[in-house]
């Protein structure tokens, strides 16, 4: 395995992050000395890519918090005494991601200078010979097998929604000016509903996790070709990043590459399927959609996945015909997870706090206006009586 992140050609700050960890020991894996070869023990491995947003320090903080909080949560929950089962592992990944979202959101509320911060997260957990993937936002996971790259995750983006609705073709979505508008992220809202999928691994498979700084510049076919022709995962990551930079490098670029081999894996066969496969678990996007009798409305205010201007200054993000407020207001469809929390109450509390802030902000303006209105009314009454 190897991982690499690069600021790109246009940004001054790198708001991406990656994390690789051995869940048996809880230790992170470092790549200062090149690629690493690790045996997957009973508790498995963790791979994560996050793409922060909110402007410079806020985006960097959000993405780094995502990695730290997910690993911290797994260290506490996925202990040697934990039940080693697929469902227990999937539940742990779901719960630590939801908890990380709540912590990032609360931090932004506590520190106004970070208001609106958020991050995408693509999280892959390996247990035995199977991957379990948690998705929030538009970073991606690909599996390369037999020279073909199949996307294991679905972008939680406006373009993906329009493609699924038949409004756009995938080719049109790839070149749209609105392709970086996402519908969910960790942090902007108090609650998030994760997408959870899984994939059976075979001998010789390669996992690629990447931010949209790579997937937006390098097509899946090119990723597959480089993976098949470059045996050194370190050089493969370097070539992928170099190719994205050669095409302008308009965003930060991050890639994690993992090749799987060993006696615990069987060779692939023609009956295998590779791609997006939902893992049925309560509190996830798939189960939420099953319970709905109607298709949920589109979110009222999508947000750009990277609202940072190229000079690193935070800015608002109108989205070409899609009504978008300031980046600290992201409304998305969500449902209560199996935690006993009340999303409606939390939303009401958040909205009440926001309303109070707005009231205080406009009060200095309304008081003089009210005085003018009263004076005008008195003058009108006086003129009427005299007439």
Angle at 58 between CA 119 and CA 196, to 5 degrees: 10
Residues 6+ apart with CB under 8 A from 335: 193, 288, 291, 343
Q: What is the pLDDT along the chain (387 residues), one digit of tens a residue?
A: 999 999 999 999 999 999 999 999 999 999 998 999 999 999 999 999 999 998 767 999 999 999 999 999 999 999 877 888 999 999 999 999 999 999 999 999 999 999 889 999 999 999 999 999 999 999 999 999 999 999 999 999 898 889 888 888 888 888 888 887 899 999 999 999 999 999 999 999 999 999 999 999 999 999 999 999 999 999 999 999 999 999 999 999 999 999 999 998 999 998 899 999 999 999 999 888 777 644 444 444 555 555 444 333 333 343 444 433 333 333 332 222 223 334 444 444 455 555 555 555 445 545 555 666 676 666 666 666 665
Least Cα distance to 116 among 129, 128, 104, 127 occurs for 104
Distance CA 54, CA 115 (A): 8
Distance CA 87, CA 232 (A): 34
Q: What is the pLDDT of residue 382?
A: 62
**Model's pTM, two decimal places?**
0.78
Angle at 103 between CA 100 and CA 108, to 5 degrees: 125
Residues 6+ apart with CB under 8 A from 17: 5, 48, 49, 50, 52, 60, 63, 64, 66, 67, 254
Say if strands 16-22 and 45-53 run parallel, antiparallel, or are unpaired: antiparallel
CA–chain centroid gap for 113, Å, is 21
Q: What is the pLDDT of residue 173?
A: 85
Decide: helix, strand or coil at residue 247.
coil
CB 255 within 8 A of CB 238: no
Q: What is the pLDDT of residue 343?
A: 40
Cβ neighbourhood burial of 65 (10 Å; 0-12, 13-18, 19+): buried
- Label residue 152 left, alpha or beta by phi (over 0 means left) and psi (-120 to 50 means alpha): alpha
Structure token digits, residue 175: 């070149």
Q: What is the pLDDT of residue 378?
A: 65
Least Cα distance to 104 among 158, 184, 182, 4 occurs for 184
User: CATH number of the domain at 2-291, out of 3.60.40.10, 3.30.70.20, 3.20.20.10, 3.90.180.10?
Assistant: 3.60.40.10
- Phi, psi of 378, rounded to the nearest 5 degrees: -65, -45
- Phi, psi of 207, rounded to the nearest 5 degrees: -95, 130
Q: Where are the domains of the chain?
A: 2-291, 342-387
Decide: helix, strand or coil at residue 364.
helix
DSSP state of 113: G
DSSP state of 183: S
CB 194 within 8 A of CB 235: no
CB 193 within 8 A of CB 334: yes
Q: What is the pLDDT of residue 1?
A: 97
Q: What is the pLDDT of residue 85?
A: 94
């Amino acid at each position: 395995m190897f991982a690499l992140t690069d600021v790109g050609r246009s940004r001054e700050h790198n708001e991406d992050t990656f994390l690789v960890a051995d869940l048996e020991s809880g230790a992170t894996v470092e790549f200062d000395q090149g690629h690493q070869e690790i045996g997957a023990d009973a508790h498995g491995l963790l791979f994560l890519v996050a793409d922060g947003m909110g402007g410079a320090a806020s985006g960097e903080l959000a993405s780094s918090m995502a990695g730290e909080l997910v690993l911290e949560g797994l260290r506490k929950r996925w202990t040697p005494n934990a039940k080693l089962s697929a469902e227990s592992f999937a539940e742990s990944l779901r719960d630590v991601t939801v908890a990380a979202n709540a912590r990032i959101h609360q931090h932004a509320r506590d520190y106004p200078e970070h208001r609106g911060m958020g991050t995408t997260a693509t999280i892959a957990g390996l247990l035995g010979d199977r991957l379990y993937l948690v998705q929030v936002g538009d970073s991606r996971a690909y599996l390369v097998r037999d020279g073909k790259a199949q996307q294991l995750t679905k972008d939680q983006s406006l373009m993906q929604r329009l493609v699924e609705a038949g409004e756009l073709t995938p080719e049109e979505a790839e070149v749209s000016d609105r392709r970086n508008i996402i519908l969910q992220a960790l942090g902007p809202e108090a609650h998030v509903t994760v997408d959870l999928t899984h994939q059976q691994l075979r001998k010789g498979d390669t996992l690629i996790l990447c931010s949209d700084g790579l997937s937006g510049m390098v097509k899946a076919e090119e990723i597959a070709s480089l993976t098949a022709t470059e045996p050194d995962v370190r050089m493969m990551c370097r070539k992928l990043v170099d190719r994205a930079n050669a095409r302008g490098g308009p965003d930060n670029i991050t890639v994690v590459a993992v090749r799987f081999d060993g006696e615990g894996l069987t060779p692939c066969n023609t009956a295998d399927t590779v791609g997006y496969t939902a893992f049925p678990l309560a509190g996830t996007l798939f189960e939420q959609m099953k319970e709905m009798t109607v298709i949920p409305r589109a979110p009222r205010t999508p947000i750009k996945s990277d609202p940072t201007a190229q000079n690193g200054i935070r800015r608002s993000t109108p989205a070409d015909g899609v009504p978008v407020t300031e980046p600290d207001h992201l409304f998305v469809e969500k449902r209560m997870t199996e935690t006993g929390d009340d999303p409606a109450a939390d939303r009401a509390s958040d909205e009440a706090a926001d309303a109070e802030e707005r009231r205080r902000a406009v009060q200095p303006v309304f008081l003089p206006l009210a005085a003018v209105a009263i004076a005008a009314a008195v003058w009108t009454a006086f003129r009427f009586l005299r007439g």
